[in-house]
């Protein structure tokens, strides 16, 4: 978009007047933000309409990404960048007397996701639009996003995230595209002119209203859509009979229960709980999304066999896996197709991505719940199950004794992953190792039946947000050195390899990093009143708090260093600043205790004069996308230390690498591919391999206590949890201590401690040699192009969806 700064300033002044009736001097930062986004929206809406018209006219295949989570963060900067207006707008705001940083932070993060899975969906949307691909998001417009974390005396407290308080500037309500979703009631099979008809009666009616968010491609003409559905009651569908007012109260009950459906995002990450409201949310998303896709399809076609040529549906984990029976229902009950035809169409349209192998995260819904909430859907799932089990029995006699294990319905529960595999034409993992684990272990029997369905799509991140937007100085330096090609072709970053030994380039890289560290240090100083040393190693551990992510292992290393300093106050040690950001699921007690242990450690260490020049521990409150954007550019070390086999991919690892941080990590998830790219000398790996973890689990021969007994350093560190080092009573952290020694340390923290400490020593030695450090840092940036989500999305587009640039 070519508008000059002068034009921008003039339009800004006009818009401010016509919207707020204010002059520039009177306008607040919030009004300035709203004015900028209104201006930008005018521009985007024009392109949006054009893209939609073209997509309808050309009738090319469209992809719909169904996800219960889209963790967008703020859109103002990425929309400006993609629209080609970022610097014009920033300069313009300056000319008008505003500080653009202060203006942009007026946008509330759209926190409609928990972590990696939701942020991945957001990165994918950015790449789809930037590659001119016809791909759209389908999700829920939660009134409350992921809770806000408030720290009170070192404990996490959850507050509601009412992100819609000031109106969301980017959404457009499309009441004309509303559809109805039905819950409960009874299903009757009635015979009418020799056909069996399905009659659904006495159901509850819910209105689904879409709110569309434009997804702007980078410097191109494409604007795709993210359609977020909101649930509303239907006053007209409610019959008011009595004059005594009972009906009115019934109506209010109904209204309240309907509006709950899109009220809030479930805050559990990787932990399944069979909550009725969550099931309602899932069906609501799936049914509304599918109905609008089919009504669009029907405007051009009446042959449903064409559906797989015109539509691909990708489901983000099993959460939207009810698309399978729902599409069957729509094709059979509404469009009168027979089972076999409907099944052929469905299983050629739907594709499934798996994001975890943790047993506790696998969705299994109780039969009773599905049967009463979704009676027709249950009948269909039952039929799918019958046919699926029969086909194993007849076509795979070698698996007959595995049928109970593989069934979609067994022991009173519906196994959503089994349904998703049976009903999709593609099943993919999110990193090489993860896909291998699916094929050879977790879904081995399914892989035997459907080997052609399984494939890998290693995750990626959008380099536009995670490099160009968050680290402007680095992006500028890269362009100055190798030209701007890398922006459209991130693999071109490899050109940097020729500068790894270039002293002046190294110096420039060091300057950029220092500047970013200073910015983060200022933030920490102003928000927490803690002074940190920008010469220290910024060691960053940011992600959801979970046992398998092993924040505890990091803490044990910190406490070990602390002990070394206490034992020898003159010890030579490169100063370190340990930075944590993490939310725990509200009901996950162990995770909350680990957060308290981090904050207690922080209090102890930061206030101890003996170690104050060497160690600092910072826990940053309310970790979210916007905070990640502040931390990542300043990181020296990226902690990716999950128990091998447990982290499906990780994407924070990619963001940090792209910003020049070096990884300390296990051979887990995408860390393996990062090592393959940069080579073993440019990453600090340690710990058990996934094979070793599986072996211990199989043989049951791991003894955490033996390690505790034989490693004096560990004993000293762990005993601090129970010997009044932190508190006068010793109950606070007893649970953690017991989980390690009495419950035998499920995540192998003790087992990996020794090799982790060793790897951390290696980190420190390397950091002392700045030349060698910078060389590694540049090498990491140079190889990070592979982890752009543009690469990931091209693979999905070519190998799964068969969609093409407009």
Residues classed as catalytic? 355, 543-544, 549, 651, 655
How big is the site for ligand 26V, counted in residues (CB under 6 A)? 24
Among the listed residues 222, 224, 459, 554, the single contact to ligand 26V using CB under 6 A: 459
Strands 426-429 and 350-353, bridge-based pairing = parallel
User: 659: how many CB neighbours lie within 10 A of its CB?
Assistant: 25
Kindly state whether residue 539 participates in binding ligand 26V, applying the rule CB under 6 A: no
Residue 730 backbone dihedrals phi, psi, to 5 degrees: -115, 25
Q: Name which of residues 311 to 330 contact ligand 26V (CB under 6 A).
A: 317
DSSP per position, 733-750: THHHHHHHHTS--TT-HH
Binding mask 208-247 for ligand 26V (x = CB under 6 A): ----------------------------------------
What are the beta bridge partners of residue 579? Answer: 540, 618
Among 269, 508, 639, 732, the residue binding ligand 26V under the rule CB under 6 A is: 269
Nearest to 310 by CA among 322, 320, 300: 300
Choose between 36 and 644: whose C-beta lies nearer to ligand 26V. 644
Least separation in angstroms between residue 170's CB and ligand 26V is: 24
Q: Which of these segments, 267-275, 494-502, 573-581, 714-722, binds ligand 26V (CB under 6 A)? A: 267-275
Asked if 542 is part of the footprint of ligand 26V (rule: CB under 6 A), the reply reads no
DSSP E strands, 193-338 = 195-201, 204-216, 223-232, 311-316
Binds ligand 26V (CB under 6 A): choice among 649, 659, 663, 760:
649
Q: What is the contact mask toward ligand 26V in residues 111 to 140, using x (rule: CB under 6 A)? A: ---xxxx--x--------------------
Let me know: does 562 contact 612? Beta carbons within 8 Å: no
User: For residues 116 and 134, which CB has a smaller minimum distance to ligand 26V in the complex?
Assistant: 116
Looking at beta carbons, which pairs linking 148-152 to residues 24 or more positions away fall under 8 Å?
148/622, 149/583, 149/621, 149/622, 149/623, 150/621, 150/622, 151/599, 151/619, 151/621
Residue 648 interacts with ligand 26V (CB under 6 A)? yes
Q: How far is the CB of 244 from ligand 26V (least distance, A)?
A: 42
Nearer to ligand 26V, 51 or 281 (CB): 281
The reply on whether position 556 binds ligand 26V by CB under 6 A is no
| Listed ranges 71-79, 108-116, 169-177, 330-338: which one lies at the site for ligand 26V (CB under 6 A) | 108-116
From the CB of 765, what's the least distance to ligand 26V, in Å? Answer: 30
Q: How far is the CB of 67 from ligand 26V (least distance, A)?
A: 10
Block residue for tokens 């940036």: 781
d(CA 277, CA 64): 24
Of 361, 530, 564, 722, the one binding ligand 26V by CB under 6 A: 361
The mark string for 663-702 relative to ligand 26V (x by CB under 6 A, - otherwise) is: ------x---------------------------------
CA 504 to chain centre: 37
Nearest distance in Å: CB 670, ligand 26V: 7
Q: Which of 109, 104, 127 is nearest to 71 (CA)?
A: 109
Please check whether residue 714 is in contact with residue 753, taking contact to mean a CB–CB distance below 8 angstroms: yes
By CB under 6 A, which span of 101-109, 240-248, 270-278, 460-468 interacts with ligand 26V? 270-278
- Is residue 296 exposed (0-12), middle (13-18) or buried (19+ Cβ within 10 Å)? middle
268 near ligand 26V (CB under 6 A): yes
Q: What minimum distance in Å lies between the beta carbon of 602 and ligand 26V?
A: 26
Instruction: Using CB under 6 A, pick the residue from 270, 291, 471, 506 that binds ligand 26V.
Output: 270
| Spatial separation of the C-alpha atoms in residues 686 and 756, rounded to whole Å | 6
* Sign of the Cα pseudo-torsion (609, 614, 615, 620, in order): positive
Nearest distance in Å: CB 546, ligand 26V:
8
CB of residue 76 to ligand 26V, shortest distance in Å: 25
> Alpha carbon of 207 to those of 198, 282, 444: distances in Å?
22, 15, 41
Judged by CB under 6 A, the residue of 90, 161, 539, 647 near ligand 26V is 647
Which residue has the CB atom at the shortest distance from ligand 26V? 116
Q: Which element (helix H / strand E) includes 426?
A: strand 426-429
The DSSP result for 2-45, as a single string, is ---HHHHHHHHHHHHHHHH---TTT--HHHHHHHHHHHHHHHHH
Window contacting ligand 26V (CB under 6 A); options: 14-22, 262-270, 383-391, 764-772:
262-270
- Residue 353 vs 554, nearer CB to ligand 26V: 353
Rounded CA separation 352/195 (Å): 33
Rounded to a whole number of angstroms, the minimum distance from the CB of residue 462 to ligand 26V is 14
Taking the alpha carbons of 544, 548, 552, 556 in that order, is the dihedral positive or negative?
negative
H-type alpha helices, 613-711: 625-631, 652-658, 671-678, 690-699, 704-710
Any contact of residue 354 with ligand 26V (CB under 6 A)? no
Query: Residue 429 CB, nearest distance to ligand 26V (Å)?
Result: 9
| DSSP three-state, residue 336 | coil
Q: Is 272 a residue that touches ligand 26V (CB under 6 A)?
A: yes
Q: Interface with ligand 26V by CB under 6 A: which residues?
A: 114-117, 120, 266, 268-272, 317, 355-356, 361, 363, 430, 459, 647-651, 669
């Amino acid at each position: 978009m070519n508008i000059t700064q002068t034009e921008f300033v003039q339009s800004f002044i006009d818009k401010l007047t016509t919207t707020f009736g204010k002059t520039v001097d009177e306008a607040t930062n919030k009004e300035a933000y709203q004015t900028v986004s209104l201006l930008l929206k005018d521009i985007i809406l024009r392109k949006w309409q054009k893209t939609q018209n073209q997509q309808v006219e050309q009738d090319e295949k469209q992809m719909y990404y169904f996800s219960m989570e889209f963790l967008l963060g703020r859109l103002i900067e990425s929309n400006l960048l993609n629209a080609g207006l970022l610097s014009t707008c920033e300069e313009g705001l300056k000319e008008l007397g505003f500080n653009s940083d202060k203006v942009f932070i007026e946008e509330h993060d759209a926190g409609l996701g928990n972590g990696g899975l939701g942020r991945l969906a957001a990165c994918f949307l950015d790449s789809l639009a930037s590659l001119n691909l016809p791909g759209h998001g389908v999700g829920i417009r939660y009134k409350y996003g992921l809770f806000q974390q408030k720290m009170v005396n070192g404990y996490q407290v959850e507050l509601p995230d009412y992100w819609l308080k000031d109106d969301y500037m980017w959404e457009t309500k499309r009441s004309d595209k509303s559809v109805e979703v039905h819950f409960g009631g009874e299903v009757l099979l009635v015979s009418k002119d020799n056909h069996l008809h399905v009659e659904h009666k006495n159901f509850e009616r819910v209105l689904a209203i879409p709110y569309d968010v434009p997804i702007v491609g980078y410097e191109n003409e494409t604007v795709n859509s993210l359609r977020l559905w909101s649930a509303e009651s239907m006053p007209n569908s409610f019959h008011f009979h009595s004059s005594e007012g009972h009906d009115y109260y019934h109506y209010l009950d109904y209204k309240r229960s309907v509006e709950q459906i899109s009220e809030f995002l479930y805050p559990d990450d990787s932990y399944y709980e069979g909550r009725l409201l969550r099931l309602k949310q899932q069906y609501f998303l799936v049914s509304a999304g599918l109905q609008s896709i089919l009504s669009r399809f029907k405007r051009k076609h009446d042959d449903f066999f064409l559906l797989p040529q015109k539509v691909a549906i990708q489901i983000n984990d099993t959460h939207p896996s009810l698309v399978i029976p729902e599409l069957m229902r729509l094709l059979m009950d509404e469009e009168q197709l027979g089972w076999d035809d409907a099944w052929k169409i469905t299983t050629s349209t739907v594709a499934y991505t798996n994001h975890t192998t943790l047993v506790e995260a696998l969705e299994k819904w109780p039969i009773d719940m599905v049967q009463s909430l979704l009676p027709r859907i249950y009948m269909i799932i039952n039929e799918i199950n019958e046919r699926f089990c029969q086909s194993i029995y007849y076509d795979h006699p070698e698996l007959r004794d595995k049928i109970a294990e593989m069934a979609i319905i067994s022991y009173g529960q519906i196994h959503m992953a089994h349904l998703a595999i049976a009903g999709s034409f593609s099943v993919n993992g999110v990193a090489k190792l993860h896909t291998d684990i699916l094929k050879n272990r977790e879904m081995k029997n399914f892989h035997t039946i459907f080997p052609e369905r399984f494939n890998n799509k290693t995750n990626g991140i959008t380099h536009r947000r995670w490099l160009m937007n968050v680290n402007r100085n680095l992006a500028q330096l890269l362009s100055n050195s190798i030209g701007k090609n890398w922006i459209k072709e991130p693999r071109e970053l490899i050109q940097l390899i020729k500068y790894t030994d270039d002293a002046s380039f190294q110096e420039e890289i060091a300057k950029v990093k220092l500047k970013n560290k200073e910015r983060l240090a200022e933030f920490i100083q102003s928000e927490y009143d803690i002074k940190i040393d920008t010469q220290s190693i910024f060691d960053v551990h940011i992600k959801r708090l979970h046992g398998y992510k092993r924040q505890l292992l990091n803490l044990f290393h910190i406490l070990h260093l602390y002990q070394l300093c206490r034992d020898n106050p003159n010890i030579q040690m490169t100063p370190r600043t340990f930075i944590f950001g993490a939310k725990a699921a509200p009901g996950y007690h162990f995770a909350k205790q680990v957060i308290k242990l981090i904050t207690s450690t922080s209090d102890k260490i930061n206030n101890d004069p003996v170690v104050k020049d060497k160690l600092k521990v910072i826990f940053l409150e309310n970790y979210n996308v916007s905070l990640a954007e502040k931390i990542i550019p300043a990181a020296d070390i990226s902690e990716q230390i999950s128990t091998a086999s447990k982290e499906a991919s990780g994407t924070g690892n990619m963001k940090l690498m792209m910003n020049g941080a070096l990884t300390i990590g296990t051979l887990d998830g995408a860390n393996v591919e990062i090592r393959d790219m940069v080579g073993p000398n440019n990453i600090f790996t340690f710990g058990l391999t996934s094979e070793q973890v599986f072996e211990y689990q199989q043989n049951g021969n791991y003894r955490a206590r033996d390690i505790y007994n034989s490693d004096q350093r560990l004993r000293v560190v762990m005993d601090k949890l129970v010997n009044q080092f932190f508190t006068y009573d010793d109950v606070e952290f007893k649970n953690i201590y017991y989980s390690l020694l009495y419950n035998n340390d499920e995540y192998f923290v003790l087992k990996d401690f020794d090799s982790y400490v060793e790897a951390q020593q290696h980190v420190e030695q390397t950091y002392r040699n700045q030349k060698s450090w910078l060389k590694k840092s540049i090498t990491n940036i140079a190889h990070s192009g592979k982890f752009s989500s543009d690469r990931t999305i091209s693979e999905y587009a070519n190998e799964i969806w068969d969609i093409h640039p407009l």
